[in-house]
Amino acid sequence: MAQKKKPPRVGDHPAFRRCLLAVVLTLTALVVVAPLLVIAVQAFSAGIGVFLATIADPDTRHAIMLTVVTALIAVPVNTVFGVAAAWAITKFDFRGKRFLLIVIEIPFSISPIVAGVAYLFVYGLQGLFGPALEAADVKILFALPGIVLASMFVTAPFVARELIPLMQAQGRDLEEAATSLGASGWRTFFSVTLPNVRWALLYGVVLCNARVMGEFGAVSVVSGNIRGQTNTLPLHVELLYHDYQTAGAFAAASILALLAVVTLFAKVLLERQGAGRAGRPTLAAPQTLKAETLK
């Protein structure tokens, strides 16, 4: 009896695959590659002198410095928060676990501008803590603390979202075995948990850092857009563009574009090492656990 011919699957036909590939490549060229090329070309359209003058301008240098300082504060704090949240959610059972997961997802579900406005109603002069902060002469909004808080809010989920699925897949067996062998909680974390999630952790840190440096919406609300004082690099690009300094705006934007390219390469490198969803790090073998945890 002749074997019944199976119906072709969607995408098996060569013509369909070519069309699909053409659509993907065209959209990639128009949406991703073309804007980056325009930034690179326009940044040097007025000559290398204008490009260097823009980068050397005091306002630009201050914007770069403020962006870096914000990242140096926000990224480590969110890294600690992400690790702690992921560890608590995946390794312990407690009331409110589902609620904590929902709270972690909130920054992804609301607009960054809405978050900035919310900070105004909390820390502004007419906000919840505004009068008390003013009486204590503590300035949150339109200063570095407000910029850091807004950046921390929009980037809070990045590290936790990378760690939680991986740590859930790994389970609790290794940590419980280490504890039963006499390892303390900190020793278990540094010798068992952290080595098995290190690439996913670095992956989340890279994404968090890129988002902090490129954040615009929430920071634009809480910073006040004060030239040379509270403008981060994305805000400074907008300021230059509104001042009709097109070449200068693209020169400053090229720094952010370069950051995006570096982030992309770091992402690919970490994925090859087993970070994120592209791969899973190899768990320590149970027979080697005792030696690892009790060294």
pLDDT above 70 as % of the chain: 88
158 and 204 Cβ atoms separated by less than 8 Å: yes
Q: Is 110 left (phi over 0), alpha (psi -120 to 50) or beta?
A: beta
Cβ burial 221-239 (10 Å sphere, 16+ → b, else e): bbbebeeeebbbbbbbbbb
pLDDT for residue 45? 83
Going from N- to C-terminal start, the domains of the chain cover: 46-293
- For domain 46-293, the CATH class is mainly alpha
User: What integer pLDDT is reported at residue 283 of this predicted model?
Assistant: 40
pLDDT tens for each residue of the chain, 295 residues long: 455 566 666 666 777 788 888 999 999 999 888 888 888 888 888 888 888 888 888 999 999 999 999 999 999 999 999 999 998 888 888 888 889 888 888 898 888 999 899 999 998 888 888 888 888 888 888 889 999 999 999 999 999 998 998 888 888 778 778 878 877 778 888 888 888 888 888 888 988 998 998 889 899 999 888 888 888 999 999 998 888 888 888 988 888 888 878 887 877 777 776 644 444 444 444 444 444 444 4
The alpha carbon torsion through 33, 278, 158, 32 (nearest 10 deg) reads 10
What burial letters (b/e) apply to 154-188, b meaning 16+ CB within 10 Å?
bbbbbbbbbbbebbeebeeebbebbbeeebeeebb
Q: Which of 200, 193, 202 is nearest to 279 (CA)?
A: 200
- In order of 138, 140, 154, 157, 276, the CA distances from 75 in angstroms are 23, 19, 11, 11, 18
CA distance 168 to 193: 12
DSSP-H helix ranges across 156-193: 157-170, 173-180, 185-188
Cα 246–chain centre separation: 28
Please check whether residue 231 is in contact with residue 147, taking contact to mean a CB–CB distance below 8 angstroms: no
d(CA 37, CA 237): 17
Query: Which amino acid is located at 38 in the chain?
Result: V
In this structure, what token pair is assigned to residue 69? 């300082």
Tell me the two tokens of residue 56: 């050397």
